[in-house]
Amino acid sequence: MTVTRFAPSPNGPLHLGHAFSAIVAHDLAKADGGRFLLRIEDIDGPRSRPELADEFRRDLEWLGLEWTEVAPQSARLGRYAEAAQALQDRGLLYRCRCTRADIAANATETGPDGPFYPGTCKAAAIPETEPAAWRLDVAGALAETGPLEWTDTLHGDQPARPQLLGDVMLVRKDLPASYHLAATLDDAADGVTLVTRGADLFNATHVHRLLQGVFGLPVPRWHHHPLLLGDDGRKLAKRRGSPSLADRRLAGEDGRALADDLRQARFPAGITLSPFLSGEA
């Protein structure tokens, strides 16, 4: 049975890109008689707005989707802490006080997510009293797991290459877990068998597969779908003010008809579907 999930963060309203992603996940699960889960990723500090979760539910219902809701991330903090402590005990996490500006100033190469972290703090003795994030020692983790692979339903078998992103942050200074740690643990806990998300997160999967290997978690398949692009050629985003689903819903638009249009690649004016980002593979 296929189990998929849609996991929005309540730090801004949903837009057409979210609708497309939710529909893809919903339809892939339902076509197999499976389950489509809703998980609210609500640990983004003061940016998380609890009232938006209700808006998300109304949006999904308006689109005609059916789902099972699972525990939000805010109810899973103990699990994140336990996992981080286990990595610390195994010597696979190290403290890091570098800011983005520090990394940009000291990086000697650029990775898929921007300036590549040069390992500045890997051998540093940072006092426990000083605020710091925790980074994964990718080389150390790979030494434990050995070579790994994962499968994307659109792009086939992939060798896991977490070194593309370097020693990623797993616990932030101000948050109990990064996306990498939380999403990996949550998908395993929720029994997700097919992780559906945009092609912009293709490289993140290399890290998630490594974490699954380190923790001995079940390995799902992945489906990295194309992105919806605005008339500026960039993916739709909350921070750029992409029109919200709630505005469309409150204006009386037919949500089920919109969902059918998205399924058939009939997009509103100015919206296009991206090709797969070949540089992500």
SS (H, E, C) 36-70: EEECCCCCCHHHCCHHHHHHHHHHHHHCCCCCEEC
Catalytic residue among 30, 122, 235, 238: 238
Q: What whole-number distance in Å separates Cα of residue 241 and Cα of residue 15?
A: 9
Cα(194)–Cα(224) distance, integer angstroms: 10
Q: Distance (Å, rounded) from C-alpha 166 to C-alpha 179?
A: 15
Contact (Cβ atoms closer than 8 angstroms) between residue 111 and residue 165: yes
Cα distances (angstroms) measured from residue 237 to each of 17, 82, 90, 112, 240: 8, 33, 38, 19, 5
Helix or strand or coil: residue 245? helix
Q: Has 238 been annotated as catalytic?
A: yes
Nearest to 242 by CA among 228, 259, 260: 228
Give the residue numbers annotated as catalytic, written as ranges.
238
